[in-house]
Each structure stands twice: as C-alpha cells, then as structure tokens.
Chains A and B, each alone.
Chain A
Amino acid sequence: MIFLFYLLSGVALLSALMVVFSRSPINSVIHLIICFLAIAGHYILLNAQFLAVVHIIVYTGAIMVLFLFVIMLLNLNKENEPHKKLYTKLAAIISGGMLLLVLTGAVKSVALIPFNEKFDSQIGLVGNFGKILFNEFMLPFEASSVLFLSAIIGAMILGKKEKITNNE
C-alpha cells in the first residue's frame, strides 16, 4: 500500500511538472489528465471512493475534455510562446512565491496522521457523505450551489446573441 502511495505521488508530481514544462499545450493538457488520475488514486487510497469518482467525472471527464476541445479549436499547436515582459515575470515570481509561503504555513500546522492499513470502510461512502453534506455543511453547500447557478446564468448571458437593432 505504501508502495502505491509513493508510485502515485511520483506520477502526480512528475506529470504536474510536465504540465508546466512541455512546450505544446496539448501535451500539457494530457499531462494534467494523468495528474488528476493520480490524485484520484490517492483518494481511493484514503478510502474516499465517491470523491475519487466524482473527481474523475468532473475534472477528467468534463473540464479536461473542454480544455482539449478549446485548445484544439483555437489550434494552439504552434509552439510559439509569447515573450513576456520582465515586470510580468517578476510579478508572477512574487505572487507564486507568496502562494508557496501561504501553503507552507498551512501545511506546517497540519498534524500528520500515520498511514494505517486497516481503515474504517464506512468512511467516504455515498450515504455518509450525503448525510454530512446535508446536515453539518448545509449552508456552505447551498451557498456554493447558488454560486454555480450564477456562473451558469452569467455564461448564458455572455453567450446569448445580441439583438440586431434596425433603427434605420
């Protein structure tokens, strides 16, 4: 089991690095798909099977397919990276470094739990997941669904054809 953890971590890290370093956008997307699959594997190791499958449906099945779709439609396969200005690079480095700082601070305070082979097989099942979601986290769940609804409506308004006004 611990071997599987190291294997999945290695795959996830390597493919995440390849997302950044590969020249062609299509290759980046494919490496991102591999990265997401490795993370889904981690969820299964934690016995969160429902979360793993939802992760695959949402990210690999829907979002990544749309990414591939858009990149292919725009035909970004020419390997020409626009040369960024120096202050853009500097800003990117600073903001990235600050994110790293926050993440390190957050991860440092987390108590690591030892890896145990015998876990409670009832954690992470659909029934328990639904009960927790609709009891303890009812408000955030509903608030995020309203957020999604507003995003959908916004997309529809943006995508709607403007009415042609014939005033002449």
Chain B
Amino acid sequence: MQDFKFNIYDLSSFTHWVDVSLYSYCTPFWAMMWEMIIIGVAMLLFYAVIGLFLVYAERKVCAFMQNRIGPNRVGPYGFIQTVADLVKLLMKELVIIRKSDKFLFYLAPFIVIIVNFMTMAAIPFAKGIHAIDFNIGVLYIMAISSMGVIGVLIAGWSSNNKFSMIGAMRSGAQIVSYELSVGFSLITMCVLAGSMQLSTIVEGQSECWYIFQGHIPAIIAFVIFLIAGTAETNRGPFDLAEAESELTAGYHTEYSGISFAFFYLAEYINMFIIASIAATVFWGGWMPFHISGLAGFNNIMDFIPPFIWYIGKTFVIIWIMMWFKWTFPRLRIDQLLTLEWKYLLPINLVNIILMALIVLMGWHF
C-alpha cells in the first residue's frame, strides 16, 4: 500500500528518462545545456501563465470584495482581459526620462524578474518536477528573495523622481526588517523538519502536515509568515512603497509600457512564490492530505494528482493574501516598523525556543 501511494502520479521516472536519453544522445556538456533550455522555457511559460491568471484573479477577487462585477467584456467572464491588457502595454511607448541614469533605469525591472526566476527554480511543483533540489533549499529561497529589493531601490533612484525615491526608501526599510520574520518563521519549521532541503520537508509531511505536527508553534509561525510574507511582496496593507494616494505609484512612477508590466508581473509572481513556500513548508506542498491510520481515506486523497494539490494550496493562500489587501487599510510607516520590531520579532524568537523544546521533548505528533 505504501509504495502504491507515490507511484501513480510519480513524474520523477519521466524526468529521469528525459535525463538519461539526453545524456545518451549528446555529450555531457550539451546534455546539461539542453536540460537548462528545457527547464528555462518551461519556467518562462509557467511564469507568464501564472502572472496573467493572477492579475485576472486579483481583479475578480477585488470586485467580489467590493461588491462589483469586475472585468466581464473580453472573453467569457472577462477571462482574457489580462491578455488584452498585455497587448496594450506592449504597444505603449517607453518614455525616456531626461537626467536619469538610463542604464540602471532599464536594468531595474530585469533584476526583479531574474530574482523571481531564481527563486522559482528551488520550488517543488510536484513529485519529480523540481528544477534544483538544494540541501539548503529554504535558506536559498530566503537569500535570493531578499535581493529583489535591490531592483526596487535602483528603480526608485534612477528614475530621478522624488516620489519614486521615497517609495524605494520605504520599500528598503520594509523588506530589510520583514525579511527577519520570514526567515525566523521558516527556521522554526526547519527545526521541526530537521532539514532545509525542500524535498525532504515535503516527504516528511506524508503522514501529517507540519502545521498539524507542530501544533501551537507551527500555527504561530504560519501566521507570522503570512504577515511578513505579505509585507515582503509590498502588497496588501503593507503597500507603502507604492502608496498611490501619497506617492502616485511609488518606485515605478516613471515606468511605462512593458517595463511597468515587468514590475506589475513581478509583484504577482512574488506573491505566488511566498504562497507556494507557505504551502510547501506548512501545508505539505504537493503531498496529499493524509490522516495516519485511515488507509481508505488516504488512498482516495492519493488519486488527486500532486500538482493539483500544490496549486490548490497555493491558491488558497493567495486568496487569503488578496483578502488582506482588500480588507485592511494601509499601515503608516511607524506602525509598520513597530509591528515588526516590537511584536513579530520577539514573538518569533520565543516561538523558536518553544518549537525546539517541543521537538526535544517529542511533544509533536
């Protein structure tokens, strides 16, 4: 029964077959190159599809929260509205600003996009669909996602605009402080998992998800991760960096056309990444919902493909994050920093000790 569980939708045999056949046809160097190209193209397609879908989903969720209809003209239920938006943005003029640092100005959106891609490489999408499985996967994601702020800072500075500058400054202060909470809440879960490798973390949840295994400290860590993760994507009640009522559009005020679209897309992909990390570390990633002891129930759950589980959990968390954004008013900068340094960080530090105690005493499930 146990080995039947994973075989049915196991894609690792397929990826292994691709790997072996590539290495048998080409020299190792070219085989590696082809693998990189295949993974890159697949990621690019996934990126575009998820980005377009999330923009549509955000508009529909926003409309639902505000008792409106939302986009409903282009395609059925306005489903291809974002494609039309993309075409519009592609045809718009790229405005060149006098007295701005042009090289850095055009580099900034690409830094944000590259950081997004590097983070997505370490996320396990399904069994066997996992570009790189680092043994420090969680730490790697934290490290790379902290570099996105460099793109934002450069964008704000090179625009030669005071609004952009203030937005970038706020974003810098916000991300540098909320990074700590994201890191500490993930480390709390690493203590429980005993590993930083994302594949091991997912395998460890085959009996029971970590949020249930670690009960109290895991739930505290999950709530802190959701708050800090939302802050790190510059979204929701924490969108001080682009507060449109005060700063026009914050750090991307001067961007037009497709370079604006890059920033816009990057925000949604960031949200997707944060949600998928939360789903992987706390809710078991692609692992189906299992209750140890109930073999029949577990088998029914195994018939739902892992990728559906992964996407489903991720979208539930994304929905919660959208719910935040359209429910809470924006925080002031001092409230934002007080929340992080006076509440979240001390709670988090105590939480790590609590989790270590629970793991040492064996009080987890």
| Residues of chain B lying within 8 A (CB to CB) of residue A64 | 150
A141, B173: Cα distance in complex, Å? 29
Interface segment out of the listed B44-52, B77-85, B135-143, B261-269: B135-143
| Residues of chain B lying within 8 A (CB to CB) of residue A50 | 136, 139
With contacts A49-B134, A65-B172 taken as known, whether A26 is within 8 angstroms of B147 at the C-beta atoms is no
| Residues of chain B lying within 8 A (CB to CB) of residue A65 | 146, 149-150, 153, 172, 175-176
**Interface bin, chain B:** 20 to 34
Q: Are B143 and A126 in contact (CB under 8 A)?
A: no
Chain A positions within 8 Å of B, measured between CB atoms, are 24, 26, 30, 33, 49-50, 53-54, 56-57, 60-62, 64-66, 68-69, 72-73, 77, 125-126
- 10 tightest A-B CB contacts, nearest first: A61-B146, A56-B143, A57-B143, A53-B143, A53-B139, A69-B172, A68-B153, A72-B157, A53-B140, A49-B136
| Residues of chain A lying within 8 A (CB to CB) of residue B321 | none
Q: Which of B136, B154, B157, B173 contacts A126 (CB 8 A)?
A: B136
Interface residues of B in 123-137 (CB under 8 A from A): 134-136
Say how far A27's CB is from chain B's closest CB, in angstroms.
8
| Residues of chain B lying within 8 A (CB to CB) of residue A56 | 143-144, 146-147
| Residues of chain B lying within 8 A (CB to CB) of residue A69 | 153, 169, 172-173, 176
A66, B176: Cα distance in complex, Å? 8
A77, B165: Cα distance in complex, Å? 13
Subset of 6 A-B contacts with CB under 8 Å: A49-B136, A56-B144, A57-B139, A60-B146, A64-B150, A125-B135
| Residues of chain B lying within 8 A (CB to CB) of residue A68 | 150, 153-154, 157, 172
| Residues of chain A lying within 8 A (CB to CB) of residue B169 | 69, 72-73
Say how far A44's CB is from chain B's closest CB, in angstroms.
10
The proximity string for B residues 154-165 relative to A, scoring 1 for CB distances below 8 Å and 0 otherwise, is 101100000001
A24, B100: Cα distance in complex, Å? 13
| Residues of chain B lying within 8 A (CB to CB) of residue A66 | 176
Say how far B36's CB is from chain A's closest CB, in angstroms.
14
Interface residues of B in 145-192 (CB under 8 A from A): 146-147, 149-150, 153-154, 156-157, 165, 168-169, 172-173, 175-176, 179, 183
Say how far A50's CB is from chain B's closest CB, in angstroms.
6
With contacts A26-B104, A126-B196 taken as known, whether A53 is within 8 angstroms of B165 at the C-beta atoms is no
Q: Are B179 and A61 in contact (CB under 8 A)?
A: yes
A44, B107: Cα distance in complex, Å? 26
A147, B101: Cα distance in complex, Å? 40
A33, B134: Cα distance in complex, Å? 23
A126, B347: Cα distance in complex, Å? 25
